[in-house]
Amino acid sequence: MYSGKLIFSQVMEHLPLKEFHRCVDRYQGHYKVQSFSCLDQFLCMAFAQLTYRESLRDIEACLRAQQSKQYHMGIRSDVSRSTLAYANETRDWKIYADFAQVLIHIARELYAGDDFGLELTETVYALDSTTIDLCLSVFPWAHFRKTKAAVKLHTLLDLRGNIPTFIRISDGKMHDVNVLDEMIPEAGTFYVMDRGYLDFERLYLLGQRLAFFVTRSKSNMGFRRLYSHPVEKSTGIKCDQTIALTGFYSAKDYPDKMRRIHYFDQVTEKNLTFLTNNFLLPSLTIAQLYKCRWQVELFFKWIKQHLRIKKFYGTSENAVKTQVWIAISVYVLVAILKKRLKLEESLYTILQILSVTIFEKMPVLQALESSRDKITENNLVNQLNLFD
């Protein structure tokens, strides 16, 4: 009989606690704290994410029902909803934002050799944002519209492993393109964006820092063709041109040459026009790069469905950002667990299994493998029934 650690503790063993305490010290997270530490707060919020708790009362009830196991989970203090609410309200959210970046750095190293569908050695990022609607009377700081509140998650996703490398949480009024001012471009990397980020001055600065962009053109863009390159029209590429902008302001903001690629998608039967500052990759690869941008949309859909970021445990800006950053940390932590244990299951499956075995004392690999065997047996039984 296995009498070792709880599955929750085995998952949390992958946390770099030395780095966590450095983040706490950086923002004086334990100033005037007597009992409920920042680690206790993080573990309680991580427990809430892994087990799909809906409220502070829900977290308190579940942990108190397993009070004898709290010490083995790493939680050294009694958990009450008022204490947890106060911690979320007052302790700087930057502690958990910095710690999430530590986990992201670890995850990116683990997934550096992964394939994302294209044979490219360069790093490829997908940039986009998603909006989480809120109640204006409850979240008055999150301005969006006259009668609505919202927060936006501006995310830069590394397509190798779908790891978010940059996240900016803003109110709903912040325009997507403004996030380009806060990013530090990496030389030699590709940034894939939709038309919401089409700002020629910012794109020109991106190119000046030796980074590449791939985005879509707007229908009213003024330009003149300088060269036309040969294309294979059977691939869907209709034209591959080198252009110069002709608009007064656009030509002033982007005085350099640009590449324009017209592509017909046979699946959706849509005509798409791409703009890029890369003149070396084949035109079809540029079109495929933009198609990979859909991964960031899937990432937003996934975290909204499987993490607690649509309903918040607190109403202040600090509490909301704390919850979002801890949710991102849990997502990245599960991705690290998947890679280190060489698991074949999807992140969704791993989260589902963890949610119902969190208090079990068994090796986490055994929990996942036994679940895999049961799924296989069920599939075999179903197939036999179909052919009776």
- Asked whether residue 62 is domain-assigned, the answer is yes
Distances (CA, A) of 101 to 97, 104, 167, 179, 353: 6, 5, 10, 18, 26
pLDDT of residue 374: 52
Which residue did the predictor score with more confidence, 373 or 224? 224
202, two tokens? 């910012």
pLDDT of residue 364: 87
Choose the final residue of a domain: 259, 277, 295: 277
Average pLDDT, the chain: 90
Distances (CA, A) of 207 to 186, 226, 272, 311: 10, 19, 22, 39
Choose the final residue of a domain: 277, 306, 339: 277
**In this structure, are 339 and 268 located in the same domain?**
no
Is there a contact between 77 and 40 (Cβ–Cβ < 8 Å)? yes
**In this structure, are 14 and 87 located in the same domain?**
yes
pLDDT of residue 381: 39
The CA R_g of the chain, rounded to the nearest whole Å, is 24
pLDDT of residue 19: 96
pLDDT of residue 373: 53
pLDDT of residue 377: 41
Total number of domains constituting the chain: 2
- Asked whether residue 331 is domain-assigned, the answer is yes
- Asked whether residue 304 is domain-assigned, the answer is no
pLDDT of residue 346: 85
CA-to-CA distance for 101 and 103, rounded, in angstroms? 5
**In this structure, are 331 and 271 located in the same domain?**
no
Q: For residue 326, what are the domain limits?
A: 7-95+315-381
Mean pLDDT is highest, among 22-26, 341-345, 346-350, for 22-26
- Asked whether residue 191 is domain-assigned, the answer is no
The yes-or-no verdict on residue 228 having pLDDT over 60 is yes
Question: Residue 270: CB partners within 8 Å, gap ≥ 6?
Answer: 264
What is residue 128's three-state secondary structure? strand
- Asked whether residue 210 is domain-assigned, the answer is yes
Assign residue 226 the CATH number of its domain. 2.20.25
Choose the final residue of a domain: 256, 277, 298: 277
- Asked whether residue 298 is domain-assigned, the answer is no
CA-to-CA distance for 193 and 133, rounded, in angstroms? 23
**Amino acid found at 127:** L
pLDDT of residue 388: 37
Q: What is the mean pLDDT of residues 233-262?
A: 94
**In this structure, are 74 and 11 located in the same domain?**
yes
- Asked whether residue 120 is domain-assigned, the answer is no
The yes-or-no verdict on residue 66 having pLDDT over 70 is yes
Phi, psi angles (nearest 5°) of residue 91: -80, 135
pLDDT band at 58 (very low <50, low <70, confident <90, very high): very high
Q: Comparing 3-7, 98-102, 288-292, which segment has the lowest mean pLDDT?
A: 3-7
pLDDT of residue 371: 58
The yes-or-no verdict on residue 383 having pLDDT over 50 is no
pLDDT in tens, 179-226: 999 999 999 999 999 999 999 999 999 999 999 999 999 988 999 999
pLDDT band at 100 (very low <50, low <70, confident <90, very high): very high
- Asked whether residue 249 is domain-assigned, the answer is yes
What is residue 232's three-state secondary structure? coil
pLDDT of residue 372: 61
Task: For residue 335, give the nearest of 114, 107, 126, 99 by alpha carbon.
Answer: 107
pLDDT in tens, 153-164: 999 999 998 999
Of the chain, the percentage scoring pLDDT greater than 70 comes to 94
The end-to-end CA distance of the chain, in Å, is 40
pLDDT band at 3 (very low <50, low <70, confident <90, very high): low
**In this structure, are 13 and 85 located in the same domain?**
yes
Q: What is the mean pLDDT of residues 165-174?
A: 92
pLDDT in tens, 279-329: 999 999 999 999 999 999 999 999 998 888 888 999 999 999 999 999 999
Pure H helices in 213-258: 248-253
Is there a contact between 51 and 70 (Cβ–Cβ < 8 Å)? no
